[in-house]
Amino acid sequence: MRNVVLTGFMGCGKSTVGQMLAERLGCRYADLDALIVSREGASINNIFARHGESYFRQAETETIRGIVALNGLVVSTGGGAVISPLNRELLHAAGVVINLTADITTITARLESDTDRPLLREGRSAERLAALLAEREAMYADADLRIDTTGKSVEDVVAEVISFLE
Ligand code: S3P
């Protein structure tokens, strides 16, 4: 099986959907942020604070490179993994790219009390999140399939992915 790569903005359900999808497909699950955390021995917040965002982005690219040669994985990416054109190319080389979206109200509600995401430290208002999302829209659109998760259960989203893969 080709890898299935989930992209999307923070709070669109990549990790939750990815884990259930891997379970349903009977394959392994990899979370790129978790791989970076274990490789660096530090939380995402600490990586950003100690080394800055560009260091994190470099680690992100190296981690993406690591999955290109692998097969049979469901991979969830960090929300900013699609920013770099090189990363987008690598993600397409790694597998089928599925972008999860949600409306701004849903995203804002899901991120309301999050403490693990450095980009939210500068604010998490619907306006700020919408602006960040708008900046990235074309990058997320570069996918084989887009699924709007708004108002859907995780099961429903997983079923949509599976029917696309069949
Ligand atoms: C980021 C999203 C996060 C994480 C980092 C940066 C982003 O991943 O990679 O905090 O730039 O959108 P999630 O989308 O899993 O929260």
Tens of pLDDT along 93-112?
Answer: 999 999 999 999 999 999 99
52: amino acid identity, one letter: G
Q: What are the structural domains, with CATH classification, of the chain?
A: 3-165 (3.40.50.300)
* 47 Cβ closer than 6 Å to some ligand 1 atom: no
* 31 Cβ closer than 6 Å to some ligand 1 atom: no
How many Å lie between the centroid of ligand 1 and the Cα of residue 78? 4
- Place 113 in a pLDDT band, splitting at 50, 70 and 90: confident
100: tokens are 């999860």
ipTM of the complex: 0.98
Which atom of ligand 1 lies at the shortest distance from residue 14's CA?
15
Residue 5 per-residue DSSP state? E
* 117 Cβ closer than 6 Å to some ligand 1 atom: yes
- Measured distance CA(110)–CA(105) in Å, rounded: 9
Q: What percentage of the chain exceeds 90 in pLDDT?
A: 95
- What's this model's pTM, rounded to 2 decimal places? 0.97
